[in-house]
Amino acid sequence: MLEKVLVANRGEIAVRIIRACQELGIRTVAAYSEADRDSMAARLADEAVCIGPAAPLRSYLNPPALLSAAQITGCDAVHPGYGFLSENAYFAEICTECKLKFIGPDAATIRLMGDKAAGRRTMQAAGLPIIPGSESELNSVDEAIEVARQIRYPVLLKPTNGGGGRGMRIANDESELIKAYPTARAEAEAAFGDGSLLLEKYLSQVRHIEIQILADQYGHAIHLGERDCSAQRRHQKIVEESPSPVVDPRLRKRMGEAALCGVSAINYANAGTLEFLLDPDGAFYFIEMNTRIQVEHAVTEQVCGIDLVKWQLRIACGERLTMEQNDVRIRGHAIECRINAEDPKRDFLPVAGELEFFLPPGGPGIRIDSHLYAGYTPPGSYDSLLAKIITWGADRDEALDRMRRALRECVITGIKTTIPFQLALIDDPVFRSGNISTGYVKELLQRWRESGTAM
Ligand code: ADP
């Protein structure tokens, strides 16, 4: 087993990784920026090392600072969490060169899947259905127009190296495409340092369904069913659940087997997620693979009873996966609400403040993954995720009823949060019915605006 892990991240995921390490008897070092000196991760870890100023480029996105921290503290591995350097092939490569185990797949796999065009080509060759679109990155607006003529409108421009739903643009006809192309390029360049774009057919009535996989270094892989992340705002997930209300055992088997085909085609090792769009007829299309732990991993853990972060650590140090596909049992239903420091009344504007009082919900079936404590001021320099509330129930209704109770019970004062929005969403009859698509949240907000409903 590993002896000491550098946690190269912050916020709730840093705490999550420390907890997994502690249960496995692995020592931890929290790498923190000057803005995170008082963070829960820095307090919970066995050691903590300051890696630089608040600006991510000088701390959490700065490989030399992280590697020095790992070396001076005698770590033998680095866990990158999600975001920051978690899908940076160069970082994975130099960790390995410095004799530090990178908790994730190898650098070549990260590089391959980090490029959405290459990822699509690879998965198509492995037999997975993909959305019609450009085979590689677009070289010009003329090429975009040409592809759009073949696949027909509406189309979606998507950054090749994108993430977090940023930089995507829909075009309903040629004039919109001509207008959107330079804007999308500029946005991608600003957000990801790379303006290259892909063009895909835009599918309107779809659900976002993703398959969690675990694979060891010896070619053995299993899938842990699906997560439904169709409740999105601006292509970013806000509520996730497992299982999906619309995936039956047959579809789960088909999607799981497709995901495992993809995994074996690239000799993938560690935890990973293949994301798909599912249309109302049951046809599904691969969109991308995330080669890291995801924010929403906890819903899978709750229904499968498997600790994904512990398995990431075990697999990275060469342990074999001890479960077979038949051992995976999906029990009950789990839902996650992302609680962000945002004001839903002001178009989800990120807000800052000192947390005066924090009372997390409790009782049966409730799990809180958070880095909050009373008196803590979450720094404004990073993303706005404060806590994840995850509820489990024997069925979807019980999980939802518990979520309502948990959201009502949760007290956060001093900072505005998305709780009022989440509460209203959980009670919305359309969400309750389970009959939603990725456009649902936009429609819901529109509906509330028109009816003057207060959140
Ligand atoms: P990112 O890596 O930025 O998260 P993804 O490719 O994973 O981007 O897509 C994020 C979301 O954008 C999806 O969950 C879906 O809602 C929407 N999306 C992506 N591709 C398409 C498409 N071709 N048609 C319709 N919606 C799409």
Domain residue limits at 46: 4-103
Residue 201 identity: K
- Measure CA 59 to chain center: 21
Q: Which of 166, 201, 236 is the last residue of a domain?
A: 201
Q: What is the pLDDT of residues 74-112, one digit of tens each?
A: 999 999 999 999 999 999 999 999 999 999 999 999 999
8 Å CB contact between 37 and 378: no
CA distance 111 to 126: 18
Q: What is the pLDDT of residues 306-318, one digit of tens each?
A: 999 999 999 999 9
8 Å CB contact between 290 and 272: yes
Please say if 292 is a catalytic residue. yes
Q: Provide CB contacts within 8 A for 434, sequence distance 6+.
A: 245, 246, 396
The pLDDT score that the predictor gives to residue 449 is: 85
Average pLDDT value over all residues in the chain: 96
Q: What is the pLDDT of residues 181-239, one digit of tens each?
A: 999 999 999 888 899 999 999 999 999 999 999 999 999 999 999 999 999 999 999 99
8 Å CB contact between 327 and 113: no
- Is residue 38 located within the same domain as residue 184? no
Q: Into how many domains does the chain fold?
A: 3
Q: Which two tokens stand for residue 435?
A: 């009959």
- Is residue 247 located within the same domain as residue 361? yes
CATH number of the domain residue 426 falls in: 3.30.470.20
CA of 127 to the centre of ligand 1 (A): 20
Q: Provide CB contacts within 8 A for 110, sequence distance 6+.
A: 87, 88, 89, 92, 104, 291
* Residue found under tokens 């450009």: 134
CATH number of the domain residue 170 falls in: 3.30.1490.20
User: Which of the listed residues 436, 438, 441, 442 should we mutate to test ligand 1's pocket, taking the one with most ligand atoms within 8 A of CB?
Assistant: 438
Bridge partners (DSSP) of residue 286 are 130, 276
User: Which of the listed residues 187, 192, 235 should we mutate to test ligand 1's pocket, taking the one with most ligand atoms within 8 A of CB?
Assistant: 235
The pLDDT score that the predictor gives to residue 63 is: 98
With respect to residue 356, please indicate whether it lies within any of the assigned structural domains. Answer: yes
Ligand 1 in contact with 164 (CB < 6 A)? Answer: yes
- Is residue 317 located within the same domain as residue 221? yes
- Is residue 155 located within the same domain as residue 212? no
- Is residue 167 located within the same domain as residue 264? no
- The string of DSSP codes covering 283-332 is -EEEEEEE-S--TTHHHHHHHHT--HHHHHHHHHTTPPP---GGG----S
Q: Which helix (H) or strand (E) holds 75?
A: none
Q: Which of 154, 170, 201 is the last residue of a domain?
A: 201
In the predicted structure, residue 452 carries a pLDDT above the cut 90: no
In the predicted structure, residue 448 carries a pLDDT above the cut 90: no
In the predicted structure, residue 428 carries a pLDDT above the cut 70: yes
With respect to residue 114, please indicate whether it lies within any of the assigned structural domains. Answer: no
CA of 133 to the centre of ligand 1 (A): 13
With respect to residue 139, please indicate whether it lies within any of the assigned structural domains. Answer: yes
Helix, strand, or coil here: 105?
Answer: coil
The pLDDT score that the predictor gives to residue 98 is: 97
In the predicted structure, residue 454 carries a pLDDT above the cut 70: no
